[in-house]
Amino acid sequence: MKNKLRVISALLCAVLIFADIGSFRGEALSFVPTAVDADGERRDIRLYSECVYMVNMDTGEVIVDINGEKEVPPASLTKLMTAVVLLDELGGDENTLKSKMMSAGTEAFDELYDTGAATADIQPNEAVSAYDLLAALLIPSACEAANIIAINVGGNIPAFVDMMNAKCTEIGLKHTHFSNAHGLFTQQNYSTAKDISTICRYALDKYPVFRELVGSPSFNMAPTDYHPEGTYIVSTDYMINEFTDYYYTNCRGIKTGTTEAAGRCFASYATRDGITYLAVTMGAPMEKLPEDIKKGEADPESMYADDVVYYNFIDHINLYEWAFDTLVQKDFINEFSEVRDVKVGYGKKRDYANLKPAGGYSRMWPANIPIDDVEKRITVRENIVAPVEEGDVLGKMELIYKGETLAEIDLISTTKVERSPVKERARITKAYFKSKLFRITGSIVLVCISLYCVLCFLIAQRKYLRKLNPSADGRYDDPFNTDNGGEE
């Protein structure tokens, strides 16, 4: 029963994440982020990451999609699903998580030895609360925390990985497969920026404790036998650390992921003026680019003077600045707009119906792009006949921008049109006289009449000739009779 409730809960969250709103079908529309340069020209913003996926968390609208469904190594973004499985199994209550103690032997540590994996200095057989393990997993990205969670929740690591992949299916991830709980590279561990976005939204929507921990720039783990004074851990997310060059006041945190194979990956969300965006980037460069080496030499105080440049953070800052400064809510159509009339056959008092949208449509839109650039393409049903009721769907409107469909909106009748039997019969009669059947029938009748007239003429002619040419025996000669009257 407990497992059934978990499945139902996951499905409901997935429905809320992906549900269409209103009586229209919305499509993903990806914008190209732009900025005004020093010359006053608007140019595309350079994004360093290979994959970029950005959504408005309030509406679910896709804002930027660059290789959003490309399957790539997710690095430590894998740990987001590890956290989800832990929370789905134990629940999100902070007290429950703090009271649940976990530990593991060397089986949680052996594969991590000499890999350079991130750690929170948890030791074999050290008893740590599930809450602190979750913090170690999400804040400094501790790989041993991932394995300890996997062993305690799943019984062993492979069984826990099966739970991770089952959760992928539950929440609708189509391009993700996990082979471990920590994200170190294997060919079978892959995901997409879009799928990682879904994991983030699932966890943020369902678990306040997740939201709290991913937004923590630092954290004090509770004292243990191995660490009597506790352990102080610091987030790898520099955008929520005010002492770094990448601090961004609107960022609320989530998680980084970095391996040589994956590049620099990052998932984050940011809020300003009541609007929230979530961005996932994957595959940013690991090494400082040559042009940025020159920037660092020119400005020793800039971030480019450091040995490492975090291009994943730069991408997120640029994405958020563009979105918050450029995107505004625009109304493209409202539900009270009358669109057009359509002809209705067999109408009793009127032969038309008024159409209006079944619902309005608005979305975040770049202020520099006129909404008049969006085409409103209307199609209506053919041969509409009465009766028509108010609310009947008689057509649709497509909103199209640069060949991409923003939305399809049903067009409904605002008019009730009753059926007229008189007009129906008249139209049927008129239609019959214009039909192919009538032409064929008429032709047959004309041919029959013509044949009848010819036959009547021949019969009359026969009678007339008999009167003019009586035979010797008192009978009239029959001009049509080839018999010689019996002569031999």
For the stretch 187-228, pLDDT in tens is: 999 999 999 999 999 999 999 999 999 999 999 999 999 999
Residues 279, 268: contact at Cβ < 8 Å?
Answer: yes
Question: Average pLDDT of the chain?
Answer: 90
Tell me the C-alpha to C-alpha distance, in Å, between residue 177 and each of 8, 78, 171, 254. Answer: 22, 10, 13, 21
pLDDT the model gives residue 37: 85
Helices 157-170 and 143-154 pack at an angle, to 10 degrees, of: 90
Structure tokens at 304: 């480019």
pLDDT band per the 50, 70, 90 thresholds, residue 18: very low
Helix residue ranges per DSSP H, 269-420: 290-298, 311-326
Q: Could you report the per-residue pLDDT of 268-314, keeping only the tens digit for each? A: 999 999 999 999 999 999 999 999 999 999 999 999 999 999 999 99
The residue with tokens 């969670």 is: 149
**% of the chain beyond a pLDDT of 90:** 74
pLDDT the model gives residue 130: 99
Instruction: Say which residue, 221 or 431, is predicted with more confidence.
Output: 221
Q: Could you report the per-residue pLDDT of 73-89, keeping only the tens digit for each? A: 999 999 999 999 999 99
Q: Is 255 annotated as a binding residue?
A: yes
pLDDT the model gives residue 436: 76
Helices 143-154 and 130-138 pack at an angle, to 10 degrees, of: 140
Residues 221, 120: contact at Cβ < 8 Å?
Answer: yes
- Distance, in Å, from the CA atom of 10 to the CA atom of 416, rounded to the nearest integer, reads 43
Coil, strand, or helix at residue 59?
A: coil
Q: What type of residue sits at position 220?
A: N
The residue with tokens 């006129």 is: 370
Q: Which of 49, 79, 167, 413 is catalytic?
A: 79
- Distance, in Å, from the CA atom of 477 to the CA atom of 469, rounded to the nearest integer, reads 6
pLDDT band per the 50, 70, 90 thresholds, residue 20: very low
Q: Which of 49, 129, 141, 191 is catalytic?
A: 141
Annotation marks residue 435 as catalytic:
no
Residues 418, 348: contact at Cβ < 8 Å?
Answer: yes
Q: Which of 49, 76, 235, 413 is catalytic?
A: 76
Q: What type of residue sits at position 323?
A: A
Beta strands in 326-415 (DSSP E): 327-333, 340-343, 352-357, 361-366, 375-380, 393-401, 404-413
**% of the chain beyond a pLDDT of 70:** 87
Full-model pTM: 0.80
- Distance, in Å, from the CA atom of 207 to the CA atom of 242, rounded to the nearest integer, reads 25
> What domains appear along the chain, each with residue ranges and CATH number?
31-327 (3.40.710.10), 334-422 (2.60.410.10), 438-488 (no CATH)
Q: What type of residue sits at position 195?
A: D
CA 386 to chain centre: 37
pLDDT band per the 50, 70, 90 thresholds, residue 478: low
Residues 255, 234: contact at Cβ < 8 Å?
Answer: no
Tell me the C-alpha to C-alpha distance, in Å, between residue 9 and each of 14, 170, 206, 352. Answer: 9, 10, 9, 48
Quick one: which of 203, 304, 310, 324 has its CA closest to 247?
A: 310
Torsion sign (Cα): 365, 366, 367, 369 = negative
Annotation marks residue 79 as catalytic:
yes
pLDDT band per the 50, 70, 90 thresholds, residue 432: low
Structure tokens at 204: 């943020």
Annotation marks residue 76 as catalytic:
yes
Quick one: which of 89, 116, 85 has its CA closest to 100?
A: 89
Pairing of strands 275-284, 51-56: antiparallel
Min mean pLDDT across 8-12, 30-34, 304-308, 316-320 is at: 8-12
Q: How many other CB atoms are there within 10 angstroms of residue 277's CB atom?
A: 25
Mean pLDDT, to the nearest integer, of 129-142?
99
Residues 34, 45: contact at Cβ < 8 Å?
Answer: yes
